[in-house]
Amino acid sequence: MIHSMTGYAAVAVDMPRGRLSLELRSVNGRFLDLQFRIAEELRAHEPMLREMLAARLGRGKVECRMQFSGGAGHLPRTALDADSLAELARLSAEVRKAIPEAEPLRVADVLRWPGIMAEHALSEAETRESVERLARQALDELVAARAREGAKLAEAIRVRVAEMRERVAAAAPLVPEAMAAYKEKIAQRLRDALGSTDDDRIRAELALFGTRVDVDEELTRLGTHLDEVLRVLGQRGPAGKRLDFLAQELNREANTLASKAASQGLSDAALALKLLVEQMREQVQNIE
């Protein structure tokens, strides 16, 4: 299945102390280029994310953003700090001993005392599990998006291949007639230039000319390359580099066809092929 290198996914999960969010953006790239924008408190999980992304993606410039945010509705889990509470009780007792008429501390006073309340930090294992689960979900969505885009690209390339086949099929019957007409034209020019009717020499010159303008081989190779494009589109795994190579080969054959064209019809066919190949290459640049 063909995959595009363009895709987007954004997922989030609620945790006891806030909301963990992960965003993946993917665009074209010659190789797999991973870039991370991660909150400092989550930086320790970057190696795991890098490994997961590399295992699922072959090419493309991928940006990974992950952050943790609290807010209303995400109240921190707190508990009394036993050591601070014991120290406050000791100090309160000393004050009461020194100043018997002093008022005892109220519960509200104790809870507001700095250091008495301590937030429960999320365990490393709990955070890692949440990050890994979120990353898998985001990767599934990103790969699915790249697959949907890839299917559209593959269909667009198949349409271009079909149009190129039509051009090649239409050009093939023009070759014999174009060759015969152009050879007769060249033969007359040779007669005029040589000032004689030396048929042997003229036939030798025409034979040499014929090898230079015969495009049967180019048309055959064009057909072979188009067959290979369709074969690659039907395979699994990364195909972008192979398709880019085939697009270059198709362009080379179209250029050769244009340079050897012995008639306006063949020249027009070569120009149309070059345009279709360029359109195909634009699609291929997006394929993984």
Task: Write the pLDDT tens digit of every residue in 164-180.
Answer: 999 999 888 877 666 66
Q: What is the mean pLDDT of residues 232-253?
A: 91
**Residue 1 is assigned to a structural domain of this protein:** no
Identify whether the C-beta of residue 213 lies closer than 8 Å to the C-beta of residue 266: no
Calpha distance 277→250 (Å, rounded): 7
12 and 131 inside one domain: yes
Residue 189 confidence class, pLDDT cut points 50, 70, 90: low
- pLDDT mean over 183-192: 59
Query: Is 12 domain-assigned?
Result: yes
Asked if the model's pLDDT at residue 142 lies above 70, the reply is yes
Residues 186 and 92 in one domain: no
Same domain, 14 and 47: yes
> Is 265 among the domain residues?
yes
The confidence score (pLDDT) of residue 272 equals 93
* Over residues 53-63, mean pLDDT: 94
Please check whether residues 55 and 86 belong to one and the same domain: no
Are 204 and 268 in the same domain? yes
Whether residue 129 sits in one domain with residue 11: yes
Residue 249: the pLDDT is 95
pLDDT beyond 80 at 87:
yes
Whether residue 151 sits in one domain with residue 242:
yes
198/279 same-domain check = yes
Band of pLDDT at residue 287, cut at 50, 70 and 90: very high
Q: According to the model, what pLDDT value does residue 180 have? A: 60
Q: Looking at residue 74, what is its pLDDT?
A: 46
What average pLDDT does range 195-202 have in this prediction? 57
- The mean predicted confidence, pLDDT, of the chain is 83
Does residue 273 sit within a domain?
Answer: yes
Identify whether residues 167 and 266 lie together within a single domain. yes
Model confidence band, residue 235 (pLDDT cutoffs 50, 70, 90): confident
pLDDT given for residue 85 in this prediction: 79
Same domain assignment for residues 34 and 64: yes
Place 204 in a pLDDT band, splitting at 50, 70 and 90.
low
Q: Are residues 251 and 278 in the same domain?
A: yes
How many domains would you assign to the chain?
3
Domain for residue 2, yes or no? no
Please tell me the predicted confidence (pLDDT) of residue 282.
Answer: 92
192 pLDDT tier (thresholds 50, 70, 90):
low
CATH number at residue 68: 3.30.230.10
- 141 and 151 assigned to the same domain: no
pLDDT-wise least confident of 35-44, 207-216, 262-271: 207-216
Q: Supply the range of the domain harboring residue 164.
A: 147-284
pLDDT in tens, 106-130: 888 777 777 776 555 556 778 888 8
